A and B are shown apart, each in its own frame.
Chain A
Amino acid sequence: MPTSTEKAPPPFRHAKAVLFRRALQLAAFVVCAFLFVVVAVLTYKAAFLLRHESLPDILFSSEWNPMRGRFGFFPIILGSIYVTGLAMLLAVPVSILSSIYIAEYVRGYGKHVLKSFIDVLAGIPSVVYGMCAILVLVPWVRDGVAPLFGVSSTGFCVFSAALVLAVMVFPIIISVCVDVFQAVPQETREASLAVGATKWQTTKLVVLRAALPGVFSAVLLGLGRAFGETIAVAMLVGNLPRVPRSLFDAGATLPSIIASTYGEMMSVPRYDSAMMLLALILILVVLLFNYLARLIKRNFEKTQLGEGA
């Protein structure tokens, strides 16, 4: 084989490689910095308010009077708990049951179709959810559901927000749960069936059991999403920083109150500081949920890999 005369290597090849690597590192660094910038900016701005009031006072006070500089977060925190709690109460059983059905009882191609269907629908923007709810849900609650309970309601209330939130959370929980169920090895099911268990017994006692940590992490993920959902809730919950007297009363959640005060923020002193504090609490809670979900998922992956080995 003829030896080729060595052509001079393309100029700067090594330099380009080094530059490339540095650029990647820079990008990674900058993106990580984003997280710290976010927390730092929020903390800095929130600190202003905290100089004048103590944190426990703010968190537990119910007085909301921006004009007088009084910002009691308690009703808003409670509102978040109510709306998110009710939404999860509705979403979790429905999602898990649906996931079991899709993963264990649907054969072949249908599984893939259903999963894709749910994934695509997971991409529907939250404004659209909000809008549809205003069209359909609000009148129904106002004219149909609330009177049933003997309560009068505008329809813009905790119940409406929670219902829509539940629907928004379905795809998240279902998607993760179906994956988790499918990850349970087929042989484990066969082992159960081979001793004479029924399909349902196998699903309930074996598959669910094996997938439990994954399911738990899916729920946490959904919880984080629900807690942080802004737009649809803002369109439906009424945005009143007051403790809701019933499910059909208006209320507010952390993200919804931030969204709804757009415009008013700048004219009142300390208002923007209060908003930043709300945002800070919001992301800390959401980050906590997501971090827990991640921990559980990683732990689960470790034990699953250890099992079937």
Chain B
Amino acid sequence: MSRGRTQEAVFRVLMLLSLAVVTVSLVGIVAVVLVKGAPALSVEMLTRTPTAGYYMGGGGGILNAIVGSLLLAVSATVLAFFFSIAVATYLQPEFSSSRPANAVRTVLDLLWGIPSIVYGVICFVIMAFVGIGTSLLAGIAALTLLEIPIMTRVMDESMSTVIPELKVSAHVLGSNPAETAVNVVWKQAGPGILSAVLLAFGRGIGDAASILFTAGFTDFIPRSLLDSAAALPTMIFFLSTSPMPEVRGRAYAAAFVLLVLVLVVSVVSRLLTKRLSRYVVK
């Protein structure tokens, strides 16, 4: 009997240790970013693009990356939204029987698992084939591909949990599946749909691999879809290993901005979903 108790005590310690390791490392990351990034932040950093001597330690800031990131992520999220809501609605039993729905879900699962760099590579190849080099357009395309499986999955889950009786009541009142979908299902699943969008946005804005080859990098704010675009993740990727401390400082600032953005989106998403769920019929 005492052997059992020592075993339990040992494992309790191991479990607490493991949990400590997890929490400390994850919190540590946030701490490092905040500690290193905060001193590098300044109004100039956030509102100006790099000047000519930037990489040698000259002036300027990361505005190119901030704007680029927003352009890329917002556009991709909007585009992905249209695809995702359509596919997620398709997956509901009113629009597809179980065999095609399961097939599509499997494909989505597989797409979800594809590393983002592959999306970047694919878009790069296609764009090169079409004659467009690194560009905002290519970056948006890659990010859209990345976001669609993530968004669709969460939307699908939300829509699936809409109480069937609601759909039946709408049907009984004479509404056809399309109208039911738009007026009832989408509203009921609203919080879930919102959280899907924010989740995908958070993922998209933080991704570097997909835009590495596609969006390229530039010191300027892109003026057209065919211009290259800098983004916060790529900026961090390229600048973290610079020999110049001032340049590295910008990487930290970019990391700070990016992390804050991602965390805020995540927290807001949770709060909003909870808030809006009050209006949902259970």
- The reply, when asked whether chain A contacts chain B directly with Cβ atoms under 8 A, is yes
Which chain A residues have a beta carbon within 8 Å of chain B's beta carbons? 13-14, 16-17, 20-21, 23-28, 30-32, 34-35, 37-38, 41-42, 45, 93-95, 97-98, 100-102, 105, 116-121, 123-132, 134-136, 167, 170-171, 174, 198-201, 204, 224-225, 228-231, 234-235, 255, 258-259, 262, 272, 275-276, 279, 282-283, 286-287, 289-291, 294
CB-defined A-B contacts under 8 Å, sample of 26 = A28-B90, A28-B100, A31-B87, A31-B148, A32-B103, A42-B118, A95-B18, A95-B22, A97-B11, A98-B18, A118-B26, A125-B233, A127-B206, A127-B258, A128-B206, A129-B29, A131-B251, A135-B36, A136-B28, A200-B11, A230-B115, A235-B240, A255-B115, A262-B213, A279-B121, A283-B115
Q: How far is the CA of A275 from the CA of B258 in the complex (A)?
A: 29
Q: Are B118 and A279 in contact (CB under 8 A)?
A: yes
Which of A14, A118, A167, A272 has the most CB atoms of chain B within a 10 A radius of its CB? A167
Q: Is the CB of A98 within 8 A of B115?
A: no
The 3 closest A-B pairs by CB, nearest first: A125-B206, A228-B115, A27-B86
Interface secondary structure of A, over-half rule: helix
Binary A-proximity of B90-113 (CB < 8 A = 1, otherwise 0): 110001100010011011111111
Interface size class of B (residues with CB under 8 A): 35 or more
Query: Which chain B residue shows the least CB distance to A261?
Result: B213
Which residue, of A37, A120, A224, A235, has the highest number of chain B Cβ atoms within 10 A?
A120
Q: In the assembly, what is the distance between CA of A94 and CA of B26, in Å? A: 13
Is the CB–CB distance between A31 and B111 below 8 Å?
A: yes
Interface of chain B, main secondary structure? helix
Report B221-238 residues with CB < 8 Å from chain A CB: 233, 236-237
A279 to B22, CA, bound (A): 31
Closest B residue to A170 by CB, please name it: B22
Q: How far is the CB of A127 from chain B (nearest CB, A)?
A: 4
Question: Which of B41-49, B51-59, B160-168, B263-271 touches A?
Answer: B263-271
Task: Tell me if A128 and B255 are in contact (CB < 8 A).
Answer: yes
**B29, A231: Cβ atoms under 8 Å?**
no
Which of B126, B212, B240, B263 contacts A259, CB < 8 Å?
Answer: B212
